[in-house]
Amino acid sequence: MKRLVLPALPAALLCFFSACGTADQPATGESGNQQHLPNIVLIYLDDLGYGDTGAYGATALATPNIDALAAGGLRFTDGYAASATCTPSRFALLTGMYPWRVQEARILPGNAPLLIDPDQLTLPALLKKQGYQTGIVGKWHLGLGNGNTDWNGHIAPGPNELGFDYSYILAATQDRVPTVYIQNGGVVDLDPTDPISVDYQQNFPGEPTALDHPELLKLNWDHGHNNSIVNGIPRIGFMKGGQAARWVDEDMADTFLTEAREFVTDHQEGPFFLYYALQQPHVPRTPHARFAGTTGLGPRGDAIAEADWCIGELMKTLQEEGLLENTLVILSSDNGPVLNDGYVDQAVELNGSHTPWGPLRGGKYSLFQAGTRVPLIVSWPGTVLPGVSDALVSQVDLLASLGKLAGAEISGTDSQDRLDAFLGRSPEGRSELVLEATGRTAFRQGDWVLIPPHDGPAVASNVNIELGNSPDYQLYRLSDDLGEAHNLALEEPGKLQELITAYEAVVHSN
């Protein structure tokens, strides 16, 4: 029996069905009256683990604003990102398609071409068609341009060609070049006399790297981050030029928060869709001085505290503008946690008693649960009642579910309409789900998880995370083994074959 724990409905509560339609009669969109369409804010953190917030059991790290969002909304215990790494999860989030269906949906370099075809249906394009003003602020990491990007001109196709009316982004990740902000296809503050060049194969003559100029570093690299140096931080990839446009890492959270708040205030007449993609706690962890040293857990903990504050400030803006009761807020993460992910920032040494993965096994890059099971909170005061849901839901379902909310029916994708589960109207979620990590897949059906045989190391040595690879089938029953400690493949041959058959039917489907 799925759990949906909710308090009794207050008599004075504004009924969702009268304001926004029912499951049989959804809210009107492009062709009808839009006054009842809610604003939608999707808050997406980067590498935030299942156990990284107080709402999900953390005691050594305070996250009061995320906790408040959970206390006033619906907290999902069984919510999933589509992948255990960032680019594939973001691809699925926007397209409603499993990322393992697209070979190119892997972690992209900063100069990769746009991963999503502009003709493909996307969440922002769908909502825009239904009358929403759409914006993205923060991390993109889905590629830009057609493969030979000129960073000194108009950069397209990109978010604006996929349905976003407004975009203010970093191209890939904070640890990858180019280290500049891009607004609606143009580099912010670019000096045309100092053009930007980017290369992921070889350095530019005379440009310092972490290997030949370690004295320039304020943050040392551990693995994989020893190319161009920007603000004393070594990056992945090589870059020259664009000095006036380069971001200050410690100011990034404030910069994105300002943009997100301005988007809300500029579009308060609504309806609007804001995809607020925070960079925290992805490396390099560079919290502003206001947060540095405040948690005792090192830069990773401080970055989470900073992100929590940003979320609180955005919620405060919604409240000040009188928008809270007409705004659906969804908070989640793109994948599970990682401590040492390329820099010497004492994330391991200072972690103490904190468990970013919570009760789960694995982490980022892993097929075990901590790779893809992430925090997922839905808040809509007056419509979504506070509570806890055990419904199995995935971010891949947001396309169909939010489409249904906006009055559009979706078919032909992996996205399922789970609007009733997301809004707490039903305890029932998905019956099955394919999990993914760096091209490898696993299968969830009911309480069972099947991990097929995969080649490769059992543990990723650089990050010290179990990957879930094994030469044999693995079968776990999560209802009494959430930590996936007991492989039941030999003890349950019938169930094993049942899941293998179901898994192969999905992965071999179109």
CA pseudo-torsion sign 261, 82, 414, 160: positive
Q: Do residues 338 and 460 lie in contact, with contact meaning Cβ atoms separated by under 8 Å?
A: no
Cβ proximity of 465 and 365 under 8 Å:
yes
Query: Which CATH superfamily, name and number, covers 35-194+246-424?
Result: Alkaline Phosphatase, subunit A (3.40.720.10)
As given in the structure block, the two tokens for residue 153 are: 């001109």
112, 170, 190 from 196: Cα distances, Å: 16, 15, 9
| Consecutive 10-residue averages of pLDDT for the chain (510 residues) | 56 35 42 71 98 98 98 98 98 98 95 97 98 98 94 98 98 98 98 98 97 98 97 98 98 98 96 98 98 98 98 98 97 98 97 97 98 98 97 98 95 95 97 98 98 97 97 98 98 98 93
Q: Kindly report, as residue ranges, where domains of CATH 3.30.1120.10 are found in the chain.
A: 434-507
Task: Establish how many alpha carbons lie within 13 A of residue 386's alpha carbon, considering only the half-sphere containing its beta carbon.
Answer: 9
Where does CATH 3.40.720.10 sit in the chain? 35-194+246-424
In sequence order, what are the residues at sequence separation of 6 or more whose Cβ sits closer than 8 angstroms to the Cβ of residue 162?
94, 114, 116, 118, 120, 122, 124, 125
Sign of CA dihedral 498, 500, 501, 503: positive
Q: Which residues contact 214 (CB under 8 A, 6 or more apart)?
A: 220
Q: Name the pTM for this structure.
A: 0.94
Question: How many C-alpha atoms does 263 have within 13 Å on its Cβ side?
Answer: 29
Residues near 461 by Cβ (< 8 Å), separated by ≥ 6?
Answer: none
Nearest to 334 by CA among 395, 268, 424: 395
Neighbouring CB atoms inside 10 A of 472's CB total: 11
CA separation for the pair 506, 85 (Å, rounded): 21
In whole angstroms, give the CA distance from residue 434 to residue 81: 11
pLDDT of residue 411: 86
Tokens at 261, concatenated = 């708040």
CB contact set of 220 (below 8 Å; sequence gap of 6+): 214, 234, 343, 344
Cis, peptide link before residue 287, omega less than 30° from 0: no
Q: How far is CA 412 from CA 95, 103, 392, 507, in A?
A: 11, 19, 21, 15
Q: Which CATH number fits domain 434-507: 3.30.1120.10, 2.30.110.10, 1.25.40.10, 3.30.460.80?
A: 3.30.1120.10
The secondary structure of 189-219 as a DSSP string is: T--TTS--EEESSSPPTT--BTTT-GGG-SS
